[in-house]
Amino acid sequence: MSTVTSAAPDVERLKEAAARAVRELTGTADYVQVFAESTLAVSVECTDGEVAATCGDLREGLGCLVLKDGGWRYRSVTPAQAGGIADWLGAPRPATGPVWASCPDASGFTPVGPADWQVEGGTVPQSIRSVEDFTYRRYAVADTEGNAYAGATHILRRRVEASVVVSGRRYRGLSRWLREGAAAVHAGGPVQDLVHTALGHARDSAAAAVSGKHRTPVVFGPSAAAGFLHELVGHALEADNFLLDSDYITELRRSRTLPPALTIRDDPAVEHGYGSHPADDEGLAAAPTTMVENGELGVPLTSIRTAQRGGYRRTASARRTDFRSPAIPRASNTVVLPGSDDPNLLVRSSGGGVLYVGSLGAGMIYLGTGEFTFAGLNCHYLTPAGDRIPARDVSLVGNALRTLARLEGIGSDFGGDNATCGKQGQLIGIGLYSPSMRYAALDWSAA
């Protein structure tokens, strides 16, 4: 960690609150770390030119992690409870005094007008729902080793759900956009592009003409390929998961398990990445971590607790939803390095058809066996004749190790996207960056 001084008064107050809590708990445990947070999240939802909902969520408080008698303990307190934090471990309560100064501030955020999400024309009934989320997060970390960090992040995320009605049935399409950094509050952004992209996906869904079960080559487009590998490899390389004694994790540790052309990094410094941060939630300065290089495993992503338990070095990968939850090893932005294959050639068929997956929806991998299931979104089936047929309600299933062994092409293109990822009840944002990638003989079905 490094000591960082911020000129922003609200961040300085958080730094003082964290340092004070550390002082009050010093002497009661072998190690004390305090995370102080003041986050204001604003969400505005519009439907068909009208504001449907506006929500504001203020998250303020302290998260205290201690190592005492050989075991880790965690407790969170609200600002109103901060004055009594010493009672937790039986330390003498200090003289009363100000311990917190609330600092809610939307940082000048102005949402897009509801009429700006509207589009004219269209030969079929259509509906546009937009959600604009702005988050101004201020946080500080201090510990008994003299380390301290204080800073802030800004995130502006826009999502559009478009629907069209054809023959009495409703079909949906999605799109999303994100900006990170202090300038995000004033970001204009391609509002109409988002709407038209979502409408295009909805119309493709209505025109889908592929059904049944199939086994064909599957090409994941830019960012979708990173999402796939984030689930198959990224979660396995989070230190708490990597320590599991499961068949899948054990086999993954062995040499020559992964394709030699594969390199994956976790990079919290990607510009406009949903998981980007100047320092993680334990105050460690952001730095990239190589998880896989040329098919060889690198180091797992860690928090202070998992680094100690596994004997690993610490990475800037300790993240949490808010102060109420302890930081755990999580990805920031999963980045897969490009290859040399022509992305146009990856989708060509050598006999049967090829499925193209534009993005991934909900899904999971069971880290005990490596079995997975995922929903594919914005999908097309490319026939041997070169026809491109939309496919909807696509489901991909398989075994991670067998699937990884079928990687047969890494494109020279590159693209990014943003998504949310859940673990242990904590939902956070991650960035996904990769080229197109082709796998042979994957099982999938479409409705």
**Neighbouring-strand partners of residue 166:** 169
User: Which residue bears the tokens 């242990």?
Assistant: 424
Q: For the chain, what percent of residues have pLDDT higher than 90?
A: 81
Helix (H, G, I), strand (E, B) or coil at 439: strand
Q: Are 64 and 85 in contact (CB under 8 A)?
A: yes
* Residue 5 confidence class, pLDDT cut points 50, 70, 90: very low
Q: Are 46 and 54 in contact (CB under 8 A)?
A: no
pTM equals 0.92
Q: Tens digits of per-residue pLDDT, 64-101?
A: 999 999 999 999 999 989 888 888 988 887 766 556 77
Domains and CATH numbers, the chain: 9-206 (3.30.2290.10), 212-446 (no CATH)
Q: Tens digits of per-residue pLDDT, 119-128?
A: 876 667 899 9
Q: Are 201 and 174 in contact (CB under 8 A)?
A: yes
Question: CB 186: neighbour CB atoms within 10 A?
Answer: 12
Angle at 163 between CA 159 and CA 164, to 5 degrees: 155
Q: Tens digits of per-residue pLDDT, 292-348?
A: 999 999 999 999 999 999 999 999 999 999 999 999 999 999 999 999 999 999 998
Average pLDDT over residues 208-224: 94
In terms of pLDDT, which residue wins out, 3 or 290?
A: 290
Q: Are 42 and 51 in contact (CB under 8 A)?
A: no
Whether residue 2 is predicted with pLDDT greater than 50 in this model: the reply is: no
Question: Average per-residue pLDDT in the chain?
Answer: 91
Tokens of 106: 């939307």
Distance CA 168, CA 140 (A): 53
Q: Are 289 and 316 in contact (CB under 8 A)?
A: yes
Q: Are 420 and 406 in contact (CB under 8 A)?
A: no
Most confident of 87-91, 185-189, 287-291: 287-291
**Neighbouring-strand partners of residue 409:** 438
Instruction: Among 8-12, 209-213, 280-284, 409-413, name the one with the lowest average pLDDT.
Output: 8-12
